[in-house]
């Protein structure tokens, strides 16, 4: 059995589309899954950069998708259902030939949770993620 490395740095690059294979349960929007934390791994997104590849302003949405439910703590607080989408940016406009950061800090992506994104026009925006994957103990 292969062991998961304790710490692994990963860079992911995507050209966003405007429609794909996943439909948000609550809004009906279609998104692209750009990253899913592997089983047994907690990931920290260190940087998420969006670049507009066109000469017109483009709208972008980036979503954190909670795949598994979170149980309440001993006091009964903090429970969260599964299949919950939380927008990191929604209808965020990036000027022509410009770039923007999605995060102002770090984002923890727990095992099997995902980052999803879509742009107003297919092929108009590139997303680059810098991620630290850490094995769960």
The structural domain count of the chain equals 1
What's the CATH code of the domain at 47? 2.60.120
Residue 48 lies in a domain: yes
Residue 76 lies in a domain: no
Determine contact, residues 51/99, Cβ cutoff 8 Å: yes
Residue 2 lies in a domain: no
Residue 77 lies in a domain: no
Q: Is residue 22 very low, low, confident or very high in pLDDT (cuts 50, 70, 90)? A: very low
Q: CA 93, CA 60: separation in Å to the nearest integer? A: 6
Q: Is residue 28 very low, low, confident or very high in pLDDT (cuts 50, 70, 90)? A: low
pLDDT at position 80 is 84
Here the tokens at position 8 are 């692994």
pLDDT digits (tens, 9 = 90+) for 85-134: 899 999 999 999 999 999 999 999 999 999 999 888 888 999 999 999 99
Residue 120 lies in a domain: yes
pLDDT at position 12 is 95
Residue 96 lies in a domain: yes
Residue 87 lies in a domain: yes
Residue 90 lies in a domain: yes
Q: Which domain holds residue 130?
A: 7-71+82-135
């Amino acid at each position: 059995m292969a062991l998961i490395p304790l710490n692994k740095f990963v860079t992911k690059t995507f050209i966003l589309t405007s429609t794909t294979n996943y439909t948000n349960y609550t809004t009906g929007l279609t998104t692209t899954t750009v990253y899913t934390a592997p089983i047994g791994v907690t990931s920290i997104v260190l940087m998420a950069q969006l670049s507009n590849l066109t000469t017109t302003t483009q709208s972008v949405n980036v979503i954190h998708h909670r795949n598994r439910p979170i149980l309440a703590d001993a006091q009964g607080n903090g429970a969260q259902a599964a299949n919950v989408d939380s927008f990191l940016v929604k209808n965020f406009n990036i000027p022509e030939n410009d770039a923007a950061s999605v995060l102002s800090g770090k984002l923890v992506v727990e095992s099997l949770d995902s980052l999803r994104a879509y742009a107003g026009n297919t092929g108009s925006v590139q997303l680059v993620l810098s991620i630290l994957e850490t094995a769960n103990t």
